[in-house]
Amino acid sequence: MSKNQTLTLTLEDGTQLTGKSFGAHTDVAGEVVFNTGMVGYPESFTDPSYKGQILVLTSPLIGNYGIPKSIKNDKNLEESFESNEVQITGVIVSEYSDNHNHWQAESSLGEWLKKNNIPGITGIDTRALTQKIRTKGSLLGTITTDPKTKLDFYDPNEENLVAQVSVNEPVTYKAGEKHIAIVDCGMKLNILRSFLKRNVTVTRVPWNHNIWDMGIDFDGVFFSNGPGDPAVMDETVAIMQEGFKRKIPTFGICLGSQIMGRAAGGTTFKMKFGHRSQNQPCIDTETGRCYITSQNHGYAVKRESLPKDWKVWLENANDKSVEGIKHKTLPFFSVQFHPESTPGPTDTNHLFDDFVNML
């Protein structure tokens, strides 16, 4: 960490906060959001759902276990990270630890951010900053090397971020006899690992790729997580709706759940500050059971917009927002949270088994 260099966070409401620079010393702009997780920053920072966002971490100490080495498995997939690059635009922490200690660590967090040209600011009261975001909602912000610099604010939700983080062409990962299509909207790699671990062959396609013209008889279709506004995902919605007509088992996670809400005939809305944490309680309306879940989203399905043949399956115990929907008679279901975790609890990992059993 540089002892002399500083960076300034400027919010669209005029707030300016200056702290020490760690990571890249550069200017950026994005949407400022917060995450309350105490661990899992390598996984979170590489989650494509954070594309275009400046991430505020409420945990008071960040960086103490460094960054693990990049390891590829037998399918050439990253084992330590959730994509092949750092996806966040910038990071704000209260206290950064350059002195890291972990048996898997290859570098410090600051070194890793510099390598990936991502700025970090330490010495900011992140709890106070989070209270501001909770009160006013997610805010646009800039990070600049000079507090006098007037950088234009940038709202990442005004463009199709999914097109920036999806794969460019179809790729197949062979495993067992069952074969599913994954429509990649910015998928976390542990979703892919979770299916391969269950001996399911996967064909991963771009967000707007028409899987129905591929000449493959898929046993099921999965729609992944990803960044941005589901309202711009008309092409993906149409792909899912065709699957509904064919009554093919369909599963969605996070953005995939919002796409399912739209494909069902419902609508979505932007939440005030979203859910980005590893301890969100979700209640199964069928059993009354409460699961602790990992989440990262800024949009949700509007409950009252769902047609009568669909049901709210899971709901958030804190704010009653929709956390999962399913069709009342056909094999279509989705969840707003992340059953694959990484980071976070694995309480709902069984949902992958449930989907595989439908195939």
Buried b (16+ CB within 10 A) or exposed e, 265-274: ebebeeeebb
Q: Are 70 and 116 in contact (CB under 8 A)?
A: no
Give first-to-last CA distance, the chain, whole Å.
51
Q: Which amino acid is at 161?
A: L
Catalytic annotation present for 254:
yes
Query: At a CB cut-off of 8 Å and minimum separation 6, what does 343 contact?
Result: 37, 39, 40, 43, 44, 278, 294
Given the residues 82, 315, 323, 340, the one annotated as active site: 340
The helix/strand/coil state of 156 is helix
Tokens of 77: 């997939």
Identify the residue whose tokens are 């971490």. Answer: 57
The helix/strand/coil state of 275 is strand
Tokens of 304: 């009252």
Catalytic annotation present for 185:
no
DSSP E strand stretches across 231-267 = 250-253
Catalytic annotation present for 323:
no
Tokens of 203: 């064909």
Given the residues 31, 179, 254, 327, the one annotated as active site: 254
The helix/strand/coil state of 143 is strand
Residues designated catalytic:
254, 338, 340
